[in-house]
Amino acid sequence: MPLVEIRNLTKRFRKGDEIITPVLDLDLDIEKGDLLALMGKSGTGKSTLLNLIAGIDQPDAGSIAVAGTTITGLSRGKLADWRAAHLGYIFQTHNLVPVLTAYENIELPLLLLPMSNSDRRKRVNFALEVVGLSDRAQHYPRQLSGGQEQRVGIARAIVTHPTLVVADEPTGNLDEETSRQIQTLLQELNRQLGITLIIVTHDVDVASIAKRQLRLEHGRAIGPSQSPSAAFSGL
């Protein structure tokens, strides 16, 4: 049984007088342990699909089930609970809470789960170790480089041991070298910890770490493609 089952998913929204359909009647299965790259031109619905899978947006039609839980139609509160327990979200712009240290930012999602202080501490320290920032635990976001901030963002996304991690252009704001480091980190998370990852990206290099690529066009899935270069041939 796939970890993520998307059936007949449609999302429309109005932009001025125009109705835009970034996702149209989409079917998609994602297996546990997969690393899927969602690609496509700007406005083809990659981020919209990601947000729908993350439960921060609601579809107009269709359904999404993650690990057997149908998340479409859940209330805002229940979706929040579901995200806290099952989802890790890596943002393009890191979106760390500026008043909290790296440690506190990573700890934040764990505060929502029933857990002892010592377990919480162990998990945060482990996540810091995984992203290689144990020595930056007490630094505030303003004291970190862009790459370090993104590492904290990644640690925050994996610290709850989520069922699924989604990343929206995780290297979009980083230089080439830092971008490469983040790609390696994401690949290691998938390979060594078995984390299921869905990445939205424009970057061919980032897509190259994926086990599977999916190109979106006019709201529909084109692919999966055989290789990142093939996936990008139409861009």
Partner 1 sequence: MFRFAPYIWKTLWRHRTRSLLTVSGASVAIFVLCFIGSIQEGLNRMVQGEDAQRRLIVFQENRFCPTSSRLPEDYSRQIAQVSGVTDVLPIQVWTNNCRASLDVVVVHGVPAAKLPESRELRLIEGQWPAFVSRTDAAVVGRQFALRRRVRLGDQLTFGSMSVHVAGIFESDSSAEEDLIYCHLLFLQLAESQTAAGLVTQLEVALDPSAEPDRVAKQIDEKLRSGLVPTTTRPKGAFQTATISDLVDLIGYAYWLGLACVGLVLSLVATTTVMSVQDRVQEHAVLQTLGVRPGRVMRLILAESTLLCFWGGALGVGLAWTILTWGNFSVGAEGVAITLRPSSAMIASGLGISVILGSLAGIIPAYQATRTNLVSSLRQS
* DSSP 3-state of 175: coil
* Contact partners, residue 72, CB within 8 Å, separation at least 6: 52, 58, 59, 62, 63, 64
Angle between helices 146-158 and 176-193 (to 10 degrees): 20
Counting contacts by CB under 8 A, is residue 1 touching partner 1? no
Give whichever of 97 and 235 is closer to partner 1, judged by the CB atom. 97
For partner 1, which stretch binds (CB under 8 A), given 104-112, 128-136, 199-207, 227-235? 104-112
Q: Which stretch binds partner 1 (CB under 8 A): 14-22, 30-38, 108-116, 144-152?
A: 108-116
By the rule CB under 8 A, 103 interacts with partner 1: no
Q: Is 103 helix (H, G, I), strand (E, B) or coil?
A: helix
Q: Which of 98, 116, 176, 226 binds partner 1 (CB under 8 A)?
A: 98
Q: Does 5 bind partner 1 (CB under 8 A)?
A: no
CA 90, 93, 96, 97 dihedral sign is negative
Within 10 A of 169 (CB to CB), how many other CB atoms are there? 20
Mask for 176-205, x = binds partner 1 (CB under 8 A): ------------------------------
Under the criterion CB under 8 A, does residue 67 sit at the interface with partner 1? no
CB–CB of 118/168 below 8 Å? no
Taking the complex as a whole, the smallest distance from the CB of residue 51 to partner 1 amounts, in Å, to 5
Q: Is 14 exposed, middle or buried (0-12, 13-18, 19+ CB in 10 A)?
A: exposed
Question: Token digits for 40?
Answer: 């496509």
Range in contact with partner 1 (rule: CB under 8 A) among 65-73, 99-107, 176-184, 218-226: 99-107
Q: Which parts of this chain interact with partner 1 (CB under 8 A)?
A: 51, 54, 56-57, 76-77, 80-85, 87, 89, 91, 93, 95, 97-100, 104, 108-109, 111-112, 156
